[in-house]
Amino acid sequence: MTMMTATQALSVNPATGQTLAAMPWANAQEIEHALSLAASGFKKWKMTSVAQRAQTLRDIGQALRAHAEEMAQCITREMGKPIKQARAEVTKSAALCDWYAEHGPAMLNPEPTLVENQQAVIEYRPLGVILAIMPWNFPLWQVLRGAVPILLAGNSYLLKHAPNVTGCAQMIARILTEAGTPAGVYGWVNANNEGVSQMINDPRIAAVTVTGSVRAGAAIGAQAGAALKKCVLELGGSDPFIVLNDADLELAVKAAVAGRYQNTGQVCAAAKRFIVEEGIAQAFTDRFVAAAAALKIGDPLVEENDLGPMARFDLRDELHQQVQASVAEGARLLLGGEKIAGEGNYYAATVLADVTPDMTAFRQELFGPVAAITVAKDAAHALVLANDSEFGLSATIFTADDTLAAEMAARLECGGVFINGYSASDARVAFGGVKKSGFGRELSHFGLHEFCNVQTVWKNRV
């Protein structure tokens, strides 16, 4: 079943195939109402103090904790995330609110400087209504990691969420309202592609932020560019996970399995291409396959399960086609490679070996529980393989040589490098990519300033 029709968005439980809800697409009048409300909300919100906004963020964090289990259950039912991971997503999102409430105000302080003995000040002003187009794989975290700094800066935030997580979208809006977020400051609209175009072209939208596929990001970015709207794009990734001969093998395998199979492999910044130096390749592969085979797959509401269903059946079909194509091209199937029979969108934990740069598993993003292992002759070859991708989101290096790790990090073409650990996002550090993984940054002070009017006030002496 598709997640959308010509008239409505469908929320379908990926573990059972049961339709949870059907929501009509917003019509032109409803979109106009959402835009009007967001614009009026912005006019009031921008006049509040940063301290007031920070308190609202604290209240949102508290409200999330009060509804933590309800929110986690909604995430799991709508997109299949294992329940323990869904709870962790809520906890992390609440902590994000706290961190920005505590540290964000100082990042918005004016920055005075002298220009040829004349006084100048850099001010961080809000831009306006920010349209956010968000995905289903982290239906709470992805929304809040953009919304929290956007709201703290004094903007209003208008969400268009993925059509298969409308229940999560409704619950997030309800929780923020309960936390005292003023009307119009945070809103959401169930828009289809035509509705999104209407909003991007509306003069009340000041900027756009998108997390999604390369295809979606390119289309939305083109529309935003044509309308001369700022756009931040966080798109796909095919992250390399480099393991050198001197790596701590046990630690590397543990991180590799967690980094590849968390959220059933449906993470843009997940490790996908495992580039292993030949001296350690067989030992790493043997241990990795054994650890992946031990993962428990099943009902995501059962706490013991490590893997749930994939969020949509069409994504499972696409992933299976990529695996089959890679095997036909010469990859060796060591584990899995099959759809699991039954009602849900389950796909077995899969490992491909002998993957080369000309194969589908190397060139395309594998958005599901499939790992592709490539052997490198040495560290220099590993670096070449890692950079041989149209993506540039994150990368991992496992080695005991800190100097070599730093040298390789400087040459990796990506937005984030993780040494002896798998990729992650955290409020305290910037997150984003290069190449076709997008542009702009989220989180830290970089994410806060992305949607500010960085205004120079220059006072000449008279």
Summarised one tens digit per residue, pLDDT across range 434-449 is 999 999 999 999 999 9
Looking at every residue in the chain, the average pLDDT score rounds to 98
Q: Given a cut of 80, is residue 4 above it in pLDDT?
A: no
- What is the 8-class DSSP label of residue 182? P
Summarised one tens digit per residue, pLDDT across range 265-301 is 999 999 999 999 999 999 999 999 999 999 999 999 9
Q: Can you give the pLDDT at residue 156?
A: 99
Locate the domains of the chain by residue range: 8-235+437-459, 239-426
- What is the 8-class DSSP label of residue 304? T
In this structure, are residues 34 and 26 in contact, taking their beta carbons and an 8 Å threshold? Answer: yes
Q: Can you give the pLDDT at residue 436?
A: 98
In this structure, are residues 75 and 171 in contact, taking their beta carbons and an 8 Å threshold? Answer: no
- What is the 8-class DSSP label of residue 219? H
Mean pLDDT across 66-71 = 99
Angstrom distance (rounded) from CA 50 to CA 29: 33
Burial tier of 289 (Cβ tally within 10 Å: 0-12, 13-18, 19+): buried
**For residues 429-452, b (16+ Cβ closer than 10 Å) or e, as one string?**
ebbbbebbbbbbbbbbbbbbebbb
Q: How confident is the model at residue 5 (pLDDT cuts 50, 70, 90)?
A: confident
The yes or no reply on domain 239-426 and CATH 3.40.366.30 is no
In this structure, are residues 323 and 357 in contact, taking their beta carbons and an 8 Å threshold? Answer: no
Residues assigned a catalytic role: 234, 268
In this structure, are residues 363 and 214 in contact, taking their beta carbons and an 8 Å threshold? Answer: no
Percent of the chain at pLDDT > 70 equals 100
Q: Given a cut of 90, is residue 174 above it in pLDDT?
A: yes
Angstrom distance (rounded) from CA 374 to CA 393: 19
Q: Can you give the pLDDT at residue 1?
A: 52
> Which residues, 6 or more positions from 76, have their beta carbon under 8 angstroms from its beta carbon?
82, 83, 86, 300, 301, 308
Q: Which amino acid is at 264?
A: T
In this structure, are residues 176 and 60 in contact, taking their beta carbons and an 8 Å threshold? Answer: yes
Q: Can you give the pLDDT at residue 462?
A: 74
Q: Is the pTM of this model over 0.85?
A: yes
Mean pLDDT across 252-268 = 99
- What is the 8-class DSSP label of residue 353? E
Angstrom distance (rounded) from CA 233 to CA 56: 27
Mean pLDDT across 157-184 = 99
Q: Given a cut of 80, is residue 3 above it in pLDDT?
A: no
Summarised one tens digit per residue, pLDDT across range 194-244 is 999 999 999 999 999 999 999 999 999 999 999 999 999 999 999 999 999
In this structure, are residues 22 and 9 in contact, taking their beta carbons and an 8 Å threshold? Answer: yes
Angstrom distance (rounded) from CA 436 to CA 238: 10
Summarised one tens digit per residue, pLDDT across range 372-421 is 999 999 999 999 999 999 999 999 999 999 999 999 999 999 999 999 99
Q: Given a cut of 90, is residue 11 above it in pLDDT?
A: yes
Mean pLDDT across 139-148 = 99
- Written out in words, the top-level CATH class of the domain with range 8-235+437-459 is alpha beta
Q: Can you give the pLDDT at residue 2?
A: 56
Mean pLDDT across 329-356 = 98
